[in-house]
Chain A
Amino acid sequence: MKRILSGVLAGAMLLALCACGGDSSAPAETTAAGTDAPAETTPAEASTELNIYMWQQYISDELIANFEEENNCTVNLSYMSDNADAITKLTAGGGQEYDLIMTCDAYMESLIAGGYVEKLDLTQIPNSSNINEAYWTAKDYCVPYLMNYIYIVYNTETCPIDITCYNDLIDPALKGQISTIDGARNLFPIALIALGYDPNSTEESEIAEAYEWLVKFNENVVAYGAAEQNLTNGTASVALTYDGNTSWAMSEMGENNTLVVADPFDDAVQLGFDLYVIPTGAQHTDLAYKFLNYICDPEAMAKNLEEYPYSCPNDAAVAAAPESYRNDPARNFSYKENVFFQEDVGEALTIYNDYYQKLKVGQ
């Protein structure tokens, strides 16, 4: 009997070990590639390997496969679980293991100042002319990939009120109804705007007031994250989420869709960009440039948009995208110009984080 027991336990441990091994093997591979590379890469020789660090479920497998075939190379994708991961890779070392890293507009200023990203030679990315200049911050250092509006969606059948501004979100009628995105720098700007302050405020007194607002908001929140699921399965009637996720939720509901984007809406909504940078000291910059040029290609990007229906700063790609993408109700709202961006708040970041912590702990 003992033997069976110990066998079962040993089996369980072995499984756990295998699971660990499976997880760790991918980074190990990329590390090996990174250290091998300097010996081979002379400018004359083309690289055969491209290492990208980005969000999971955010680029079409087909696009990657086509790029690999055209350039006779292998693309290694590694995934982050938080924006902070990418920043850690870039600033704390290990960035040069990758040739392209995805980050967002809010961090660009400090990344450039710290010399963590390579200056781009845009003549090597001719397709980048398709990108709308209005959506291109830090133009010499990054190529925008997709963008996200963070706005309010609600279910017309189950939501008890009409929502036209952020202050509606703290209406007691919505108790336990809201599914929202998470993160200090996503939540606080909403509260700051509702209170009439700068969304990127660095004043502690204003942030403290925003915290009080968010405490009321928190009463109405049913869950942080997984907004599209909570909307479609009826757990939440309101969501503060990205347009890409809304698009998924709406198509999931299909014919019976009762979700609408809050419109008209009086307050500014957050617009964020996910963009690619080449980390300082990257090994395969030649392929990185080819990849950046490839994702700016209208045809390639249009196909990608079909699979990942997010807003896109590439005007030519949007024009080439199928009808279903261009008429997506998730992107059909009237205040696309009334947006604000996340900015670098410097030292005030710790104030935000401390109040965010207090918000999440104090219940």
Chain B
Amino acid sequence: MSTRINDTTDLQAISRKRDLRRKTLPALAQAGPVSVWMILFVTIPMLYIIYISFMSRGVFGDVVYEFSLESYQTLLDATYFKVILKSLQVALFTTVLCLLLGYPFAYYIARKPPEKASRLIMLIMIPFWTNSLMRLNSWLLLFQTSGPINNFLQWAGITDAPITFVYTDGLVVLGMITNMLPFAVLPLYSSIEKLQKSLLEASSDLGATPRETFFRVTLPLTFPGIFSAVILVFIPSLGIYTVSDMLGGGKVLYIGNIIKNQFGSIRNWPLGAALSVLLLVITGALIFLYTRFSKLEDMEVV
């Protein structure tokens, strides 16, 4: 009797050891470095942000470590509501435009033979070899009052007086789209590429018009790519501040600029932290809603 019990415990020990060697160690080796990285550079800073959002501010912009809800009370002010609404609008607008521009382009690339496709993908990435501030500055130079675009318009007789492009909402949106387009094209491409041609053929064989095929076969099947494109474009556009800072001339302010100002010139870190928390909550809520209303088992991020 007793030996048998010993046997089973031995067996358990052995299988536990084997489990450790077979499952835990490889899992640790694979996920460990990333977990450490994420804890160090994402989780801890995020907890710190939440922590200081409940602190008070000192006169010279230092954080006074005393519990206070002042920052969150400030957020109730209607002006912040307006800014957040405006930022959401712009982010949504950017996302929709990126999808409208990105989808046909991704579709076009995906239908090309692999070698050509990889070259076309490279073309999308090439502008990203230069710093984004550099690219934004070049937009300013192109569109400024005495810049090439205005000169051309006047030369061609399209306008008499130069048009003010710089420091307008329109140019900011243009800058956003150029910055975000690759993040829409890449996931769209990877899901369109996987689409089996036979399905499309079957659809048309069964009498569907190309239009019907697109809306009832192609679009639903590439939905995972659309979903990741939305997430990858919408969330960064909500928080980005460099584009509106440079192309908006410090006059066009979105939530990202307000947060940046709190940590910079205005020096109210707790308010900046509270705004960041609010931004986290908004993006979290949006993702939650989205996962609720879409079948997430086939969600995929490249």
Cross-chain contact B251 with A5 (CB below 8 angstroms): no
Assess whether B52 is interfacial by the CB under 8 Å rule.
no
Could you tell me the distance between the alpha carbons of A326 and B56 in the complex, rounded to whole angstroms? Answer: 49
Q: Which label, helix, strand, loop or mixed, suits the secondary structure of the B interface?
A: loop
Give which listed residue, B59, B147, B265, contacts A184 with CB less than 8 A.
B265
Chain A 218-234 near chain B by CB (<8 Å), digits 1 or 0? 10011111100100011
Please judge, given known A-B contacts A221-B251, A350-B57, whether A1 and B264 are in contact too, CB under 8 Å. Answer: no
Assess whether A98 is interfacial by the CB under 8 Å rule.
no
Please judge, given known A-B contacts A225-B249, A235-B145, whether A5 and B60 are in contact too, CB under 8 Å. Answer: no
Please judge, given known A-B contacts A82-B265, A184-B266, whether A8 and B121 are in contact too, CB under 8 Å. Answer: yes
Instruction: Return the chain A residue nearest B268 by Cβ.
Output: A353
Assess whether B258 is interfacial by the CB under 8 Å rule.
yes
Give which listed residue, A82, A91, A182, contacts B60 with CB less than 8 A.
A91
Assess whether A358 is interfacial by the CB under 8 Å rule.
yes
Assess whether B117 is interfacial by the CB under 8 Å rule.
yes
Instruction: Return the chain B residue nearest A8 by Cβ.
Output: B125
Could you tell me the distance between the alpha carbons of A204 and B235 in the complex, rounded to whole angstroms? Answer: 39
Contacts of B196 in A (CB 8 A): none
Please judge, given known A-B contacts A5-B302, A8-B121, A182-B250, whether A357 and B190 are in contact too, CB under 8 Å. Answer: no
- How big is chain A's contact interface, by range? 35 or more
Which residues of chain B in 18-62 are interfacial with respect to chain A, using CB atoms and an 8 Å cutoff?
Answer: 57, 59-62
Assess whether B267 is interfacial by the CB under 8 Å rule.
yes
B267 to chain A minimum Cβ distance, whole angstroms, is: 5
Cross-chain contact A234 with B249 (CB below 8 angstroms): no
Cross-chain contact A1 with B118 (CB below 8 angstroms): yes
Q: Which label, helix, strand, loop or mixed, suits the secondary structure of the A interface?
A: helix
B153 to chain A minimum Cβ distance, whole angstroms, is: 14
Assess whether A157 is interfacial by the CB under 8 Å rule.
no
Cross-chain contact A226 with B261 (CB below 8 angstroms): no
Contacts of A346 in B (CB 8 A): 59
Contacts of A28 in B (CB 8 A): none
Could you tell me the distance between the alpha carbons of A235 and B164 in the complex, rounded to whole angstroms? Answer: 7
Please judge, given known A-B contacts A5-B121, A5-B302, A84-B265, whether A91 and B62 are in contact too, CB under 8 Å. Answer: yes
Contacts of B186 in A (CB 8 A): 5, 9
Assess whether A110 is interfacial by the CB under 8 Å rule.
yes
Give which listed residue, B80, B117, B164, B268, contacts A1 with CB less than 8 A.
B117
Which residues of chain B in 52-85 are interfacial with respect to chain A, using CB atoms and an 8 Å cutoff?
Answer: 57, 59-62, 79-80, 82-83
Assess whether A281 is interfacial by the CB under 8 Å rule.
no
Which residues of chain A in 91-139 are interfacial with respect to chain B, using CB atoms and an 8 Å cutoff?
Answer: 91-92, 110
B166 to chain A minimum Cβ distance, whole angstroms, is: 6
Which residues of chain A in 172-193 are interfacial with respect to chain B, using CB atoms and an 8 Å cutoff?
Answer: 176, 179, 182-184
Contacts of B144 in A (CB 8 A): 229, 233-235
Assess whether A323 is interfacial by the CB under 8 Å rule.
no
Assess whether B114 is interfacial by the CB under 8 Å rule.
yes
Could you tell me the distance between the alpha carbons of A4 and B117 in the complex, rounded to whole angstroms? Answer: 10
Contacts of B189 in A (CB 8 A): 5
Instruction: Return the chain B residue nearest A225 by Cβ.
Output: B250
Cross-chain contact B59 with A358 (CB below 8 angstroms): no
Assess whether B167 is interfacial by the CB under 8 Å rule.
yes
Which of A8, A88, A176, A347 has the most chain B CB atoms inside 10 A of its CB?
A8
Could you tell me the distance between the alpha carbons of A82 and B264 in the complex, rounded to whole angstroms? Answer: 7
Cross-chain contact A234 with B146 (CB below 8 angstroms): yes
Could you tell me the distance between the alpha carbons of A222 and B252 in the complex, rounded to whole angstroms? Answer: 10
Could you tell me the distance between the alpha carbons of A346 and B60 in the complex, rounded to whole angstroms? Answer: 9
Can you pick out 29 interface pairs between chain A and chain B where the beta carbons lie within 8 Å of each other? A1-B114, A1-B117, A1-B118, A1-B193, A5-B186, A5-B190, A8-B125, A15-B129, A82-B265, A92-B62, A110-B60, A182-B250, A184-B265, A222-B167, A222-B251, A223-B166, A223-B251, A225-B250, A226-B249, A229-B144, A235-B164, A235-B167, A353-B267, A353-B268, A357-B266, A360-B261, A361-B82, A361-B253, A362-B82
Listed from nearest, the 8 A-B pairs whose CB atoms lie closest are A223-B249, A224-B250, A234-B145, A4-B118, A233-B144, A361-B79, A234-B146, A235-B145
